[in-house]
Structure 1
Amino acid sequence: MTSERGTSEKVLDPRHPNQVLYPGGEPFPALAACVHYAGSEKLLRKSIRLQLESAVGGQPLFDISADCEDGAPTGCEHQHAQMVTGLIAGPDNPFGRIGCRIHGLHHPAWRDDLETIVAGAGERLAYLVLPKAECADDVRDQIRALEAARARHGIDREIPVHVLIETPGALHEAWQIAALPQVECLDFGIMDYVSAHHGAIPAAAMQSPGQFDHPLVVRAKCEVAAAALGNGVVPSHNVTLEFRDTERVAEDARRARREFGFLRMWSIHPAQIEPVVVAMRPDFAEAEEAAAILVAGQDADWGPISHAGQLHDRASYRYWWELLQRAHTTGTALPETVRRRFFADFF
């Protein structure tokens, strides 16, 4: 049976948590815990191979963001966008989990990036990343342009949007940005955010432990996570610059998850992917408990149940369902019966 993550096809089960636990609303997005950025064709192809080789049970452990903003050589932006389009639309993208970061609104290449990628790969593009917004209106303008391109090229499926919060203005309007239609993820861009403060924040705040200690950076992380989670979208944490120190990467991911509520984190080097995924993974005992509660809840047609001496109903089912999805997307081994019940037709 085809999977939703690989194609737009979706088999609806009236007893599935996504169909039952979110009346009048949308399920929380089930995104991979790691998103790996690559710019050149060589690095993108290497990333695609790694995505395939590391998949667990047909599920990729990380998404790939093809970078048109920082990856395109000056003067070759159109050719770079064409290369990215070919990779996303081509046969070497079996999971359909490659997104793309285009140029910012104030760069002359952004419209051509968008037009080229939507026209050639709109049916396979996992998401579109919008950088350098100064306010919610900037994001609205690019979403309108995306919708117009979809209409021109007959792309029926909605293309999710991920927005980089990396300017003081965007941070100020993070709640409005997160509430915009199609926004699926808010990414915190620490380097541009620190640079935008004209030297008032030291360079040490781009690294650890400074990035978790400096008040202005801590405030920004809290605001991004709160705005995202408050609007039902995924908060994504910034990169770790010490890309060869995998223990540093893992510790940053753990702190981002446990102290700030981030559910996803960037990678800029293949060595960072596994530490991020493992650090973001729920505890195995929690995943087991989630599976047991949800199986019992489904068997009770999502009515209240008693499990281990505690009452559970639809409010707690939502918590355990989202935890179980995080376990699944981070490669936690789940019983086959649980995979068949909850993931075979949806992912």
Structure 2
Amino acid sequence: MYVLDKGTRFVIPRTEMTYPGHNMKLHVTAADAVKAPVDHVMADFEDACPYEFKGDKSRKVMVEALNTLDFGKKVVTVRPNNIHSKFFKGDMEAIVLGAPNRFHGIMLPKTRGPEEIREVSKLLDDLEKRGGWKYKIQIESLIETPHALIKAYEIATASDRMCGLVFGIADYAANLGIREIVENQNQNFHYSKQAVVVAAKAAGLHAIDNVYLRLWRNTDSPERVKELQDGLREKNVGAANLGMDGTWVIHPQQAEIANSCYTPSVDQVEEARRVIKLYHEKGGGSMADPKSGEMIDEATIKIGLMDLAKGAQAGMVSDTELRDWSAKSREITGYDILELMRRVA
């Protein structure tokens, strides 16, 4: 969870849009609320940046974009080259010293273990002090190797800057020698994805699913466009059912569908609100829902609380209402799932 605006706002991203950081035009698009309706943007020095632009060329564009563009309420992050790259330290120095208080997080690629998170956190301590930062830069870590997956919980808890884990399917599949990474990915990578979810949630972080690599073009037939949109939706509905909070997207065209997959519907929010209210009016315990006939108890009510928390992220539930139900849960049980999962700031 990103904690922003001096602790008054928090964001669990449904959509994290990555794009090449050396291209100013793409920065402008990413900042536009209409053209890129995503929760989070991540400008990339790493895999998306051509060799000829690595180093000073891409850093100059990145710093200019961060200092001159208004990204509104979006979470703004940067992916430097990985910590073992000759470009890493220069990337970090350029953005942290060159754009103080203008972005929120670092997306650390190719993480191998918790020691790398601690090293980056220590570097940020120094750079923030030198740059005059007024808040701490947060860290999301890409889990994209078998080593990282095995150490995912250690990575997630290596620093108080950590806010999320992201599953990077392409590099992960390459490490395992797997060619197919689009079709049936939620089945073929079921263990790996849910291992990322479990590690993230055990540490109170958000979990973000990998990209869907297929895009539709203006020249595609309506049937082909629908096929690709259905594939995007199926991938993300499946990932949400594994516990992912959101997904990476690689083009603004994917944003609307992806957002919807991680946002409860109006009906779902209303149903969660109805059941929670009924449960507390009846005094708790185990009971049959008179509307559905299903048994409900404190454990099932927590599912409803999580739906309300997701609804709050989408502006469908007020922060006051969410906090009231959160306090009620804590008062009765001493166990508040929204605090444990950091769904309230």
Q: Report the TM-score range of the alignment, normalised by the length of the smaller protein.
A: 0.7 to 0.9
- Identify if the C-alpha distance between structure 1 residues 340 and 136 changes in structure 2 by more than 3 Å, giving closer, same or farther: closer
Deviations, residues 160-215 of structure 1 (Å, cap 9, x unaligned): 10000001111111110011221111001010011112x3x2x11x1121x2233x
Preserved CA contact (<8 Å) 1:88 1:121: yes
Q: Aligned to 1:240, which of 205, 208, 212?
A: 212
The answer as to whether partners of 2:208 and 2:244 remain within 8 angstroms in 1 is: yes
For the pair 1:223 / 2:195, whether they are aligned, the reply is yes
Contact map agreement 2:78 2:106 (CA 8 A) in 1: yes
- Deviation by residue 1:241-285 (Cα, 9 ceiling, x = unmatched): 112212111110000111x21111010111111111111112323
2:155 aligned partner = 177
Give, in angstroms, the shift of residue 342 of structure 1.
5.5
Partner of 1:324: 308
Moved over 6 A (4+): 293-297, 304-313, 315-318
In 2, Cα distance between equivalents of 1:319 and 1:213: 24
Mark the runs of 5 or more structure 1 residues left unpaired by the alignment: 12-28
The one of 243, 246, 250 equivalent to 1:264 is 246
2:130 corresponds to 1:152? yes
1:71 Cα deviation from its structure 2 partner: 3.5
- Distance in 1 between the 2:207 and 2:90 partners? 28
Question: Which residue among 174, 193, 207 is the counterpart of 2:182?
Answer: 207
* Structure 2 counterpart of 1:10: 8
Q: Which of 133, 136, 144 is residue 111 of structure 2 equivalent to?
A: 133
Q: Which structure has more RCO (C-alpha within 8 Å, separation ≥ 6)?
A: 1
Q: Alpha carbons of 1:6 and 1:213: their partners in 2 closer, same or farther (altered >3 Å)?
A: closer
Q: Distance in 2 between the 1:164 and 1:253 partners? A: 18
Q: Would you say 1:33 and 2:17 are equivalent positions?
A: no
Contact 1:134 1:167 in 2 (8 A): yes
**Residue 32 of structure 1 contacts residue 330 of structure 1 at CA under 8 Å; is this kept in 2?**
no
Q: Deviations over 1:307-326 (max 9, x none)?
A: 9789887x877654442232
One-letter amino acid of the counterpart of residue 165, structure 2: L
- 1:142 corresponds, among 106, 120, 125, to 120
Aligned: 1:68 with 2:45: yes
Counterpart AA for 2:171: D
Distance in 2 between residues matched to 1:150 and 1:115, nearest whole Å: 10
Aligned residues: 303
The 5 A counterparts of 1:103-122 are 103-122=81-100
For 1:287 and 1:271, how far apart are their aligned partners in 2? 26
Please give the root-mean-square deviation of Cα atoms over the aligned residues, in Å.
3.2
Letter in 1 for 2:232: V
The answer to whether the 8 A contact 2:312-2:322 is kept is no
**Which runs of 5 or more residues in structure 2 are unaligned?**
217-227, 324-343
Equivalences for residues 226-305 of structure 1 within 5 A: 226-244=198-216, 245-258=228-241, 260-291=242-273
1:194–1:157 Cα change, 3 Å: same
Question: What displacement does 1:105 show?
Answer: 0.9
Taking structure 2 as the reference length, the TM-score comes to 0.76
Q: Secondary structure at the match of 1:134?
A: coil
